[in-house]
Amino acid sequence: MRSTSAEATADLHCHSSASGPNGNWWYAQFGLADCMTPPDEVYGRAKQAGMTFVTLTDHDSIDGALELAQHPDFIIGEEVTVCFADNGARIDVVVLGLDERQHGEIQARRDDAFALVRYLRTQRLVHFLAHPIYDPANALEPEHLARLGALFPLWETRNGARLAEANALAERLHPDLERHRFLAAEHGIEPGAPRPARIGGSDDHGGTDVGTTYTVTPPAASRDEFLDHLRAGRCRAAGLHANPARMTHMVMRLLDRHGGPAEQRRVEAWCELGAGGVTHREVARLAEAFAVSADEDDDEIRLPFADPSGVGRQLTGVRRYLRGQAKLLPYLAVQAYLARERQGARELARRMAVASTRVPLRVALLADGLTSTNGVAETYREILPQLDGSVTVTPIVCGQLDGIAGVVVARAETLAIPIYADLDLPLPHLSEVAERVFDLDADLVHVTGPGPFGLAGLAVAKLLRLPLVASYHTELGDYARLLTGDPLLAELVHAATARFYGAADVVIAPSQTVAERLPRLLGIDPGRVVVAPQAVDCDRFSPAHRERPPSTRDEVIVLCVARLSREKSIDCLIEAIRRLARPDVRLVMVGDGPARGELERLAGRQATFTGWLRGGALARAFASADVFGLPSATETCGQVLLEAQASGLPCVVSPTGAAREVIMPGQSGLVAANDSAAAIADCLRTLVGDPEQRAAMGRAARANAQTRSWRASAQALADAYRLAADRPPAAQQREPLAALA
């Protein structure tokens, strides 16, 4: 219940099936009514929501209100569309407590706002300006708002069909008593109520949100006493603002009423919403679950050939997923509409000279694999806590994050990658991802690659008109070539990758080598490429963590930490160890992946495979080794190389890719002459056979790692965000408009 003995409440802006045309172009083209909720249903919903008094404010009509006039707690009202005589600008004015004669007089004055207001005041009719800054044409100017301030001391500053930011701006622009009197005198009209006040109304058109946004006054024993409170400005606005799910359901409910019998479970949802049994967000989640639920036509695709990798099953899942997302298009359409409204409110704030750049810059991060063990996830676990207060980054993921605060969305489907047998990628609902980004009020979207979450981030950025930042972490074309041996597939992956990164406003490279390659490799404009170098925590990874049992002190341990997959070229490192032919050299492999079984068989007794290690166990593994080897030719940075150097290990790396950029060749490590096992073996032989050189390089490696701080990397990342958002440095920013709410 909204009412108490200490207050009276009423939803002062709601519609019924008796409403006249609202002027919406789309409604007119499709012959849609403004609202299809019967007047008696609106009355019942309002009372169920706990309203003390009820009104209908149909567009330029009181027919529905007259049907309810017998109720002692009902107030006849209407929403009048009126123009300014000199320029034709339209506004909406809600009038309360009128009768049929006054309705006729009001309609006769719709073409002159000043004449209408003078008439309303002579009749002592309560009236207020509805949704003051609703501006589809983006044409409101200071002079227009000055007129509104002169004419109307009562403004609807909380409209349930408008966003919180738009309502906050209306509240900010609402003139105080002194300003209202000044503007009224300037425009030659008597001031209105004894004091300006703020009105709340749901602006409900679907029948599900009546009474969720409302106006509160002191106690009122009758509707006349309630209207007296409004005339005197003894009132305030309360209740909910618009959100994407709420607006989507209003439109869908309206369309359901137009189109005859609706799906039973949807009707049940509308009833539950109207009764307050569920929230709009809960209904949206149910809609998403139903959208991808198995239908009777979901038989597995029949292929005219064998399907050993389950590609047919994957195609069935993708088909079901895409069909489900198509069913959710109404959510996406409304989110796009509201994003445009949000931008319009901010543009109006700038024109009214009340805007200010928001602090902090808000970033939605959509990174595939962020909940797994991999270099990308580790990078963001380290770098995000180092960002200063001028930037906040919120990851959006399926599953639980380790060490990072984020937002969890539902998994709609799971996509298995045939060439990565142990890698399953969650497919999120695009509507839920967009809703979360919208709720975050993000200034930009950051993606880390063209996986399901990266593609969702790209789509949401375009949908909500947000800048897109894309990090380049993986040589996908090279991976496809190495994993399949198929040049056509590699070329297709390369082309898709180029299209993906070509859509970004800023592309972040983890190394200078990658930054220089991207324009040639993917056709990226060099001016859109920035470097945010990788770093390492030199306390977490340090020689101080060294632990060697007595049985291994005479051994030379060559360590490799990597995903055990073909593109990492671990087989080359195993062959290099074999070529050394030294029983005192042992290879330790930290990691896991689809090639582990094959590599274990290849290495035999020459290597120890530990699986993935984390935390202190990983730090001890690094510090307890003597040399680090990484033969991969596809590294875009090589985070593990920094961790190895911080642990005091000289490194042996491939001459291809960005790995050589991470070390100091000849000082903190050695670069193989080529990508052969023989070349890797030559480098290892040098370090294994010369303990003094190995120790000297280990010290240089530690010193090199200490120049790479996560704080500096975080600053580079923040600068890339500001570049994408076209923001000045934090020192030049002011109080955010959002703080006005």
- Digit-coded pLDDT (tens) for 646-696: 999 999 999 887 788 888 999 999 999 998 999 999 999 999 989 999 999
Rounded Cα distance between 533 and 304, Å, is: 49
Tokens 């949908």 locate to 463
CA 208, 244, 8, 173 torsion-angle sign: negative
- Three-state SS letters, 132-163: CCCCCCCCCCHHHHHHHHHHCCEEEEEECCCC
Phi, psi torsion values for 60, nearest 5 degrees: 50, 35
Tell me if residue 484 falls in helix, strand or coil. Answer: helix
DSSP calls for 444-477: EEEE-SSSHHHHHHHHHHHHTT--EEEE----HH
Which letter, b or e, does each residue of 225-243 get, where b requires 16 or more Cβ atoms within 10 Å of its Cβ?
ebbbbbbebbbebbbbbbb
Phi, psi torsion values for 399, nearest 5 degrees: 105, -175
What does the pLDDT read at residue 442? Answer: 94
- In 334-476, at which residue ranges do the beta strands (DSSP E only) sit? 361-366, 391-397, 407-408, 411-417, 420-428, 444-447, 468-471
| Cβ–Cβ < 8 Å for 695, 685 | no
Q: 99: Cβ–Cβ under 8 A, 6 or more apart, which residues?
A: 76
| Cβ–Cβ < 8 Å for 226, 52 | yes
Pairing of strands 361-366, 391-397: parallel
What does the pLDDT read at residue 638? Answer: 80
**Six-digit token string for 225:** 């006493």
Rounded Cα distance between 342 and 681, Å, is: 61
What does the pLDDT read at residue 721? Answer: 94
pLDDT tens string 581-593: 899 999 999 999 8
Q: Measure the CA angle with vertex 144, ends 143 and 145; round to 5°.
A: 90
The alpha carbon of 51 is separated from its chain's Cα centroid by a whole number of angstroms, namely 35
| Cβ–Cβ < 8 Å for 441, 460 | no
Rounded Cα distance between 548 and 566, Å, is: 30
| Cβ–Cβ < 8 Å for 333, 252 | no
Name the DSSP letter for residue 543: G
Phi, psi torsion values for 485, nearest 5 degrees: 70, 10
Rounded Cα distance between 168 and 735, Å, is: 14
Tell me if residue 93 falls in helix, strand or coil. Answer: strand
C-beta neighbour count of 497 within 10 angstroms:
20
Tokens 């439109």 locate to 251
- Helix (H) or strand (E) holding 78, with range, is strand 74-83
pTM recorded for the entire structure: 0.85
**Six-digit token string for 592:** 């896991």
Rounded Cα distance between 334 and 251, Å, is: 9
Rounded Cα distance between 460 and 337, Å, is: 13
Rounded Cα distance between 135 and 209, Å, is: 23
Amino acid at site 606? Q
Rounded Cα distance between 79 and 34, Å, is: 12
β-bridge mates for residue 558, sequence order: 587, 627
What does the pLDDT read at residue 310? Answer: 65
Q: Measure the CA angle with vertex 377, ends 724 and 594; round to 5°.
A: 130
Rounded Cα distance between 717 and 447, Å, is: 13
Q: Which of 702, 643, 642, 629 is nearest to 672 (CA)?
A: 629
C-beta neighbour count of 85 within 10 angstroms:
12
Tell me if residue 58 falls in helix, strand or coil. Answer: strand
The greatest distance separating any two alpha carbons of the chain, rounded to the nearest whole angstrom, comes to 106
Tokens 């609106």 locate to 42
Amino acid at site 691? P
What does the pLDDT read at residue 421? Answer: 58
Residue 25, CA distances (Å) to 31, 32, 34, 159, 730 in order: 10, 10, 11, 21, 42
Q: Measure the CA angle with vertex 424, ends 423 and 428; round to 5°.
A: 145
Q: Which of 74, 79, 77 is nearest to 43 (CA)?
A: 74
Residue 456, CA distances (Å) to 281, 430, 452, 459, 629 in order: 20, 6, 6, 5, 36
Instruction: List per-block mean pLDDT (blocks of 10 residues) for the chain, which spans 741 residues.
Output: 74 93 67 85 95 96 96 97 90 96 97 95 96 79 89 96 94 92 89 88 94 97 96 96 93 80 75 84 90 64 63 76 91 94 88 78 90 79 89 91 85 74 80 95 92 93 95 66 62 79 91 86 89 91 88 84 88 94 93 90 91 93 95 82 95 86 90 92 93 94 93 93 74 34 29
